[in-house]
Structure 1
Amino acid sequence: MEFLYEYGLFLAKAVTFVLAFAAIVAVIASSAMKQGAKKGELEITDISEQLKDIEDEMTHHLLTKEQLKEKEKQDKKAAKVKAKADKAAAKKATGQDEPAHEPKLFVIDFKGSIDAKEVSALREEVTAILLVATEKDEVLVRLESGGGMAHCYGLAASQLDRLRQANIPLTVAVDKVAASGGYMMACVANKVLSAPFAILGSIGVIAQIPNFNKVLKKNDVEFEQLTAGKFKRTLTMFGENTQEGREKFIEEIEEMHDLFKGHVVEHRPTLDIEKVATGETWSGKKAIEMGLVDAIITSDDYICQASKNSKIIGIKYEVKKGLAEKLSKAASLSAESFLGKLWQNNRIFPS
């Protein structure tokens, strides 16, 4: 009887374990299916409301109670006057008793890597804006990139050009750097803004590759590379490079440089392209003299000024992380927390 009791207890534990494991697998599968159906989501932020909250908080700290009461009265009176004026303007323009269209400034952030992988989110953000924006609205892209692969940044620039093609005013603000591929994107805008010490330009193309052929020969190592097509491979890391291959490689770089220059001239025709397409970079103040930018102002100041007449809306497409990535991050944070406690208790890492 005792044996049967223990066996039954063991069987119950085993069944419980199997059911728990099955439930975990089901949750993981369900999560994976949902992530497969929806890779990311759009985050919309009311920046105007955030600025208003900051203003209200500062006001409450700086004014007396009497001054606050008087300000509230004035604000209510001004709001009524504005609403009445907007209603009258809309009725006069459309013949209908409808509120006038409030101009909107859509704000996008683009911080580019070498391969401009952020373009996958950018295309979603641009698409979302195109679905609702009108020619009375504006898009501000806060751009930061030192450049990277030409074909990747070419696609990123094309995404911004979709806004231009739809006649939606596009402004690019550079607070830190927009060089090479970064400027390839920036020049698409109707207006390019720059902070005083931001870096812009680098309208050039660079390619570099190490060659270990002499090292291999010195160590009696043979290297073979088979290609179909005369210029399938112009330069190689391990083979012996030829002058013909070098000349072809340089020709390809020059061709890409010409495409880059043509792209810039297309969007900023008044530029002296031969003067600026030397691969050099300039600070914001110098860049405005060269014609690379249109105004010296930070994105923060531009948004604050625009908030007086437009509703400011932040648009961000956030790619959802996979379950494995989430678990890995959670485990990492748990490990860091555990080690931190051990450090505080002086149990490890003696000084």
Structure 2
Amino acid sequence: MEVRRESIFVSAVRALCNTFAGMIGVIIGLVILGIVIGSLAKPSLVSDKTQMVIAADANGNRELLPHSAPVILKINIHGVIGSRDLNSKTIMSQLLDSQEGALKGRVKAVLLHINSPGGTAIDAHNIYTKLVEYKTKHQVPVYAYVDGLCASGGMMIACSADKILSGPLGVVGSVGVLMGPNFNFATLMEKYGVKQRTITKGIDKDMLSPYREWKPGEDQSLVNIVAYDYNVFVNLVANARPRLDKNKLINEYGAQVYDPVKAQEYGYIDDANSSYNSALSALVKEGEISGEYQVVELKVIHPVLSGLIEGKSPIFSGKVKHEIQLPADIPSELLNRPLYLYSPALQ
């Protein structure tokens, strides 16, 4: 009988492969275990609590100060309003946590750091409302600093501030509403002999269906909603920014955006040539803060597996989502909703 012996190299490769396969198995097991635990403990894993981060003051200091030091709450309005990380719920969590625990009674002012094209009308308006309520209840000044873009819903949120200051390269404005885009494939379907049938009950239940020719007036209810939301926006801005002429806002400025100098001239903002440090220094003075102070950000923490736990992952839901790829500045979750959003590609 002939006995074959493996070389040391082949044995080493086999051992390595076995070890690698074992590690993959362990990782898969941990992922499955995490999903199971997450589904059973969903309320505790998807938390509204925030994590405190020390930001730089006007002198660049980020040293942790004693709990007796006054605090400026810095709220970042960055990105699309209504997205996972920026919506009325995440802002509410920050406002609530700023009056609890180690921060209770210490917040003397609020700085809104804005770089946003806007987003959903409901989230922008809710955030504006909550900030005004917070300012009134706790008697603290609120300043907004524009570090890039302050458009549409971002402009609405900025109107909650006592003063709006911008860096020299800011973009400000876009007071308007949009809903859409809506596409129509009826002619294309007819050309290729494609047919569809949608069963509905109720007049205009399938309004603006992309699979048939649109009927005159079927979108009237949506037109009315957009008009209503526009009036809310215009009246809010006109009341918050008394130097901004309401008639000119409607008939001349419209949903255009402006450089900081023009924005200051028209009354959208108060200072066109500010900086983060100078805005912070002005807020310190307005809040009557003397001596050292702490600038604090409160970041909402999303659990690692929250996407799976909430059923948004195809792995968890067993569903694959097919969608038309639209311009990058219109996330799919914002479609079919009234938007205070600056989107040049759609205007």
* Number of the residue aligned with 2:82: 115
Q: Is the 8 A contact 1:110 1:122 kept in 2?
A: no
Could you say what secondary structure the match of 2:187 adopts?
helix
CA gap of 1:24–1:129, structure 2 versus 1, over 3 A, is closer
Q: Is the 8 A contact 2:54 2:296 kept in 1?
A: yes
CA gap of 1:201–1:109, structure 2 versus 1, over 3 A, is same
Distance 2:41 2:162 in 1: 40
> Which one of the candidate residues 178, 183, 186 is aligned to 1:210?
183
Q: Is the 8 A contact 1:201 1:276 kept in 2?
A: no
> Which one of the candidate residues 293, 299, 324 is aligned to 2:276?
299
Tell me whether 1:140 sits opposite 2:111 in the alignment.
Answer: yes
* Number of the residue aligned with 1:190: 162
Distance 1:53 1:246 in 2: 53
- Residue identity opposite 1:150 in structure 2: A
Distance 1:163 1:111 in 2: 20
Any residues of structure 2 matched to 1:240-255 within 5 Å, and which?
Answer: 240-255=213-228
- Residue identity opposite 1:211 in structure 2: N
CA gap of 1:259–1:47, structure 2 versus 1, over 3 A, is same
CA gap of 1:24–1:283, structure 2 versus 1, over 3 A, is closer
Distance 1:273 1:260 in 2: 11
- Residue identity opposite 1:286 in structure 2: K
> Which one of the candidate residues 304, 311, 319 is aligned to 2:293?
311
Could you say what secondary structure the match of 1:146 adopts?
strand
**Structure with the bigger percentage of helix:** 1
Q: Is the 8 A contact 2:171 2:257 kept in 1?
A: yes
Distance 2:149 2:276 in 1: 13
Distance 2:216 2:73 in 1: 52
Unaligned runs of 5+ in 1: 1-16, 55-100, 327-351
Q: Is the 8 A contact 1:234 1:248 kept in 2?
A: no
Residue 146 (structure 1) shift: 0.5
Residue 26 (structure 1) shift: 11
Deviations 1:66-95 (CA, angstroms, capped at 9, x unpaired): xxxxxxxxxxxxxxxxxxxxxxxxxxxxxx
Deviations 1:129-164 (CA, angstroms, capped at 9, x unpaired): 244566981100101110122123222223322322
- Residue identity opposite 1:283 in structure 2: D
CA gap of 1:49–1:147, structure 2 versus 1, over 3 A, is closer
Residue 301 (structure 1) shift: 2.7
* Number of the residue aligned with 2:93: 124
Point out the more displaced range, 313-322 or 43-52: 43-52
- Residue identity opposite 2:162 in structure 1: N
Deviations 1:147-204 (CA, angstroms, capped at 9, x unpaired): 1221232222233223223132111111100111111111111111111221111001
Q: Is the 8 A contact 2:77 2:154 kept in 1?
A: no
Point out the more displaced range, 229-238 or 317-326: 317-326
Tell me whether 1:279 sits opposite 2:279 in the alignment.
Answer: no
> Which one of the candidate residues 121, 142, 151 is aligned to 2:122?
151
Residue 280 (structure 1) shift: 0.8
Q: Is the 8 A contact 1:116 1:152 kept in 2?
A: no
CA gap of 1:116–1:298, structure 2 versus 1, over 3 A, is farther
- Residue identity opposite 1:44 in structure 2: V
- Residue identity opposite 1:320 in structure 2: H
* Number of the residue aligned with 1:290: 266
Point out the more displaced range, 125-134 or 232-241: 125-134
> Which one of the candidate residues 234, 243, 246 is aligned to 1:261?
234
- Residue identity opposite 1:122 in structure 2: I
Residue 256 (structure 1) shift: 1.8
Q: Please tell me whether Structure 1 or Structure 2 has the larger radius of gyration of its CA atoms.
A: 1
* Number of the residue aligned with 1:95: none
Could you say what secondary structure the match of 1:209 adopts?
coil
Tell me whether 1:42 sits opposite 2:51 in the alignment.
Answer: yes
- Residue identity opposite 2:51 in structure 1: L
- Residue identity opposite 2:74 in structure 1: V
- Residue identity opposite 1:299 in structure 2: Y
- RMSD over aligned Cα atoms: 3.8
CA gap of 1:234–1:188, structure 2 versus 1, over 3 A, is farther
Distance 1:24 1:246 in 2: 50
Tell me whether 1:161 sits opposite 2:132 in the alignment.
Answer: yes
Distance 2:31 2:217 in 1: 59
State the percentage of identical aligned residues: 21
Point out the more displaced range, 171-180 or 23-32: 23-32
Greater RCO (CA < 8 Å, at least 6 residues apart): 2
Distance 2:307 2:199 in 1: 40
Point out the more displaced range, 237-246 or 317-326: 317-326
Q: Is the 8 A contact 1:175 1:195 kept in 2?
A: yes
Distance 1:110 1:192 in 2: 14
Could you say what secondary structure the match of 2:165 adopts?
strand
Deviations 1:294-342 (CA, angstroms, capped at 9, x unpaired): 123122332356568451322222313325889xxxxxxxxxxxxxxxx
Could you say what secondary structure the match of 1:289 adopts?
helix
Residue 226 (structure 1) shift: 3.5
Could you say what secondary structure the match of 1:242 adopts?
coil
Residue 214 (structure 1) shift: 0.7
